Amino acid sequence: MSVVIVTGSSGLIGSETVRCFHDQGFDVVGIDNDMRAYFFGQEASVEWSTKRLVASLPRFRHEAIDIRDVAAVEALFGRYGRDIVLVVHCAAQPSHDWAAREPATDFSINASGTLVLLEATRKLAPEAVFIFTSTNKVYGDTPNGLPIVEQERRWELEPSHPWAEHGIDESMSIDQTKHSVFGASKVAADVMVQEYGRYFGLKTGVFRGGCLTGPAHSGAELHGFLAYLVRCAVTRRPYTIFGYKGKQVRDNIHSTDLVQCLWHFFGQPRPGAVYNMGGSRHSSCSVLEAIDLIAELGGGEVDYRVTDAARSGDHIWWISDVRRFQQDFPGWSYTYDLRTTLKEMIDAAAERYGRGGGGV
| Mean pLDDT on 197-223 | 91
3-state class (DSSP) for residue 141? coil
CA distance 99 to 335: 33
Element (H, E) at 258: helix 255-267
Residue pLDDT, tens place only, 95-133: 988 999 999 999 999 999 999 999 999 999 999 999 999
| CA–CA distance, 273 with 277 (Å, rounded to integer) | 12
Cα–Cα distance list, 16 to 88, 105, 130, 152, 215 (Å): 11, 26, 17, 36, 10
Higher pLDDT, 160 or 356: 160
Q: How confident is the model at residue 281 (pLDDT cuts 50, 70, 90)?
A: very high
Distance between CA 122 and CA 125 in Å, rounded? Answer: 6
What is the pLDDT of the chain when averaged over all its residues? Answer: 95
| Full DSSP string of 285-354 | EEHHHHHHHHHHTTS----EEEESPPPTT--SB--B--HHHHHH-TT------HHHHHHHHHHHHHHHH-
User: Residue 356: what pLDDT?
Assistant: 61
Architecture (CATH level 2) of domain 3-353: 3-Layer(aba) Sandwich (3.40)
Neighbours of 353 (CB within 10 A): 18
Over residues 192-216, the mean pLDDT reads: 96
Q: What totals of helices (H) and strands (E) does the chain contain, helices first?
A: 13, 14
Residues 73-85 have pLDDT tens digits of: 999 999 999 999 9
User: How far is 284 from 289, CA to CA, in rounded Å?
Assistant: 9
| C-beta separation of 110 from 29 below 8 A | no
Whether 360 has a pLDDT exceeding 70, the answer reads no
Position 189 confidence tier, pLDDT thresholds 50, 70, 90: very high
Q: What is the pLDDT of residues 21-55, one digit of tens each?
A: 999 999 999 999 999 999 999 988 999 999 999 99
Model pLDDT for residues 218-247, shown as the tens digit of each residue = 777 877 789 999 999 999 999 999 999 999
In this structure, the chain runs to a length of: 360
